[in-house]
Amino acid sequence: MLQGLLPFIVFFEIFCTVLAVIISNTISSSITILNKNTERIASGELDVQLNYEKNTKTDNEITSLTENLDKMRLALKDEAERRTKFIMGISHDLRTPVAVIKGYTEAMSEGLCDTSEEAKKSLDIISTKTEQLETMINTLINFVKLNQTDWLQQLKKQKIAPVINEFVQSSITTGEIFKRNVKAHVKISDETELAFDKSLVQRTFENLFSNALRYTNENDQIEITAEEDEKRILFKIKDSGIGISKEDKEKIFDMFYRASSSRREEGMGIGLATVMTIIKAHGWKISVESELGKGSEFTIEMPL
């Protein structure tokens, strides 16, 4: 009987040996590919897709790791492009006030402002551009701080209704000054609490309201609503202004993006990017509905 089993045992041993060799070669090949791909990423080569073959028959954990490594490469590439765009945007926006300050300073030093009136006018312009430059630098510093995560550990659970009501009253007063018809409807329980940073949430509301002011005209209407149900709070700012094109609407939350000439190009293009950063950090959502000539509506969804 043992002699009858001997061929089977020999065949089984040969089969196991061959299988072990195949598995070893597959793993060895995957490790080699993984090592080469890791070296490419370490050297900063992010533009070329990593080499790996997707095969359900030969896939192993290392192949999966290589696939995840390629996803990390794409994330690093996106971050590098974002950083480059950030630096280029800063350079572009800071260049203008610096050039004006430099031009008027040189004109004064060369005696081109030969009357006290011209000298005063030049100094006023230099002062204005210096304040603009200071504001831009502070905006950038605040944005960089915002992208750090330390402050997230300090989110305090507190009542949201007083913050919204305070913002509404301030907006109504501001609307009277700028001749806008500001209407508000707030229906939120005084006891409702959320975990949020008060100053950053106020900054978000004010940024959205400032946009509504900027892109409306006298006697246009701005509506602020806040309503609560069992699952969420919906906070909305709607205006009857010039609206946003479909193309611009898809990009308005991008860093340094300025809408087309249909919307007045002011600031550094950081405002709505800051809003998006704050909203995401709180675990909330923001959306916008708009049409050219028919106004815009920004909605913040705050889960309870």
pLDDT in tens, 211-222: 899 899 999 999
What does pLDDT average to over the chain?
Answer: 78
The pLDDT tens digits of the residues spanning 71-129 come to 777 777 777 776 676 666 667 667 778 888 888 888 888 877 777 888 888 888 888 88
Position 281 scores a pLDDT of 83
- The arrangement of secondary structure in 155-303, i.e. its CATH architecture, is 2-Layer Sandwich (3.30)
Position 199 scores a pLDDT of 81
Contact 244, 252 (CB under 8 A): yes
Please determine, for residue 301, whether its predicted confidence score (pLDDT) is greater than 90: yes
Please determine, for residue 181, whether its predicted confidence score (pLDDT) is greater than 50: yes
Q: What span, in angstroms and rounded, lies between the C-alpha atoms of 135 and 141? A: 10
Quick one: 257 exposed, middle or buried, by C-beta within 10 A (0-12, 13-18, 19+)? middle
Q: What span, in angstroms and rounded, lies between the C-alpha atoms of 256 and 214? A: 17
Q: What is the CATH number of domain 86-146?
A: 1.10.287.130
The pLDDT tens digits of the residues spanning 248-273 come to 887 788 766 665 544 444 555 667 88
For the chain, the structural domain boundaries read 2-43+59-78, 86-146, 155-303
Contact 267, 252 (CB under 8 A): no
Q: State the pLDDT confidence band at 292, using cuts at 50, 70 and 90.
A: confident
> Do β-strands 232-239 and 181-187 pair in parallel, antiparallel, or remain unpaired?
unpaired
